[in-house]
Amino acid sequence: MNTDATQQAPGTGWWTEAVIYQVYPRSFADSGGDGIGDLPGITSRLDHLAELGVDALWLSPFYPSPQADAGYDVADYRDVDPLFGTLADADKLIAEAKARGLRVIVDLVPNHTSSAHRWFTEAVAAAPGSPERQRYVFRDGKGPDGAEPPNDWVSVFGGPAWTRLPDGQWYLHLFDSGQPDLNWDNPEVRAEFLDVLRFWLDRGVDGFRVDVAHGLIKQADLADWQEPQEILSGSEVDKPRPPMWDQDGVHEIYREWRRVLDSYPGERILVAEAWVEPAERLARYVRPDEMHQAFNFEYLLAAWTAPAQYAVITRSLEATDSVGAPTTWVLSNHDVVRHASRLGLGTASGRANGVGVDDPQPDAALGLRRARAASLLMLALPGSAYLYQGEELGLPEHTTLPDEARQDPTWARSGHTERGRDGCRVPIPWEADAPSYGFGPTDASWLPQPSTWAEYALDRQRGVPGSTYELYRTALRLRREHALARGPLRFLSSGDEVLTFTNGDLTVLTNFGADPAPLPAGAQVLVSSAPLDDDAVPTDVTVWFRVV
């Protein structure tokens, strides 16, 4: 087989080749000792990101919030929650990052606000039909006395997607009841977020990761939807889409946002968190006048087999090439089981939403072996890559987190049937022998850290040949040196057991089969995810090499 998968990566902006590192503020570094990570803590650890070799960091929400959903319920889009610091701390973080050559992307949550947001408190106090309620999705209920919800939609977190006020009207919340959905058909809502964009652009941020980017516009009739409430929109291009997801009207919003970003110097970017399938529909979000990037969740969820990896890589590249956009690659984030555990659950991609002590436990050694191979495969692909904090340490999911410690609203709203996302959000370890493994100056930690965390600590891995941290550093350096983000990529084999492709002057081979895969004569190995078996690549290993 000899198949071109892509041409040179489209465009010339920095984002087309970037490796972007997600920082989950409450779990990265705690400067104050209260057990919650904060902005000064992040600033104190920026040297780690520079030494690792990433190009930018993306900050999950740090805005004022009741924390009903870990900050994704925003009460004020123009300030910093005291939990995390102050606006001055944000300004310092941005400046210190830039001094190290790091760009800063911040989260923006436009689908919903917090119920503590000034707008929503005004809406609750106002009468049905008032301008204040027009900022949100309020409806009368069904039935003679309006006691039934306006439709049958359910929350992504479980339970109904509607909550009734004492005056009888219902408001929509596709997530927690403390996250009322905004009405994006209202010009006032659109104008407000244009101003929010400018507020943070003026402070020097380099872009926005847009939460639930596919959810802002709802089908006008709010029609019932008999299918299970899923955040993905289906596997066929022409399949009917859920009335709450991926409506065509969202694209008009992002065209307007793009014009705002383009008016600023320095190549500011928009990144869509759009849980949309298939890749052809996701590509609509990254047309030339809309977003710059969109997360490739189809890749994240792909099974660990050669055919599945080949299919999702080729499909992703073809879809983004069709609109002249770079492809993105991601294996872990704050919403899914860490891939060092997910890939230890078997050949399938594994559960995306939590593993508990009573669930089948991942094989830790197998998971880490596959995670290292998957990361090395991902970092060899043309386009932009996203890393989630701690994956460079090989961190697994906390799969034995006590149920009483869980804080994710999914846990409560699902009636304790979904474990939720806390297991991937546990504060990360920096020093093996320090309190809270160096997360903060005390033993305090907002989620309990596993007793095994010491073996993953950064100070146990820095400078240690073969460690996961040094594997990432080497891969990121070679990725830059060999311009792997630019391509072109050409598949040499895509059978049931081995995936092989060339990217520029390197060849990349991942062995999914049971038997070692021989390297060609004259192969000069640059990096391998695990030791080789003489001149052969063992099972669940990725290797980058040149033939000399």
CB atoms within 10 A of CB 325: 26
Helix (H) or strand (E) holding 103: strand 103-108
Check if the beta carbon of residue 73 is closer than 8 Å to that of residue 115.
yes
- Pick from 255, 334, 250, 318: nearest CA to 292: 255
State the catalytic residue, choosing from 38, 107, 132, 211: 211
Q: Between β-strands 541-547 and 506-511, what pairing exists: parallel, antiparallel or unpaired?
A: antiparallel
Among candidate residues 139, 143, 153, the one with its CA nearest the CA of residue 226: 153
H or E stretch including 56?
Answer: strand 56-59
From residue 76, alpha-carbon distances to 80, 88, 475 in Å are 8, 16, 39
Angle at 530 between CA 527 and CA 531, to 5 degrees: 90
Cα angle 108-109-115, degrees, rounded to a multiple of 5: 140
Known catalytic residue: 211?
yes
What span, in angstroms and rounded, lies between the C-alpha atoms of 480 and 103? 17
User: Using an 8 Å Cβ cutoff, are 176 and 407 in contact?
Assistant: no
User: How far is it, in rounded angstroms, from Cα 344 to Cα 304?
Assistant: 10
Structure tokens at 60: 């999950």
Handedness of CA 283, 285, 286, 292 (dihedral sign): negative
Backbone angles phi, psi at 162, to 5 degrees: -130, 145
Paired tokens of 273: 């968190």
Say how far apart CA 59 and CA 107 lie, in whole Å: 6
Residue 279 · residue 317 · CB < 8 Å: no
Neighbours of 83 (CB within 10 A): 19
273, 298, 408, 540: which one is catalytic?
273
CA distance 392 to 481: 19
Catalytic residues: 211, 273
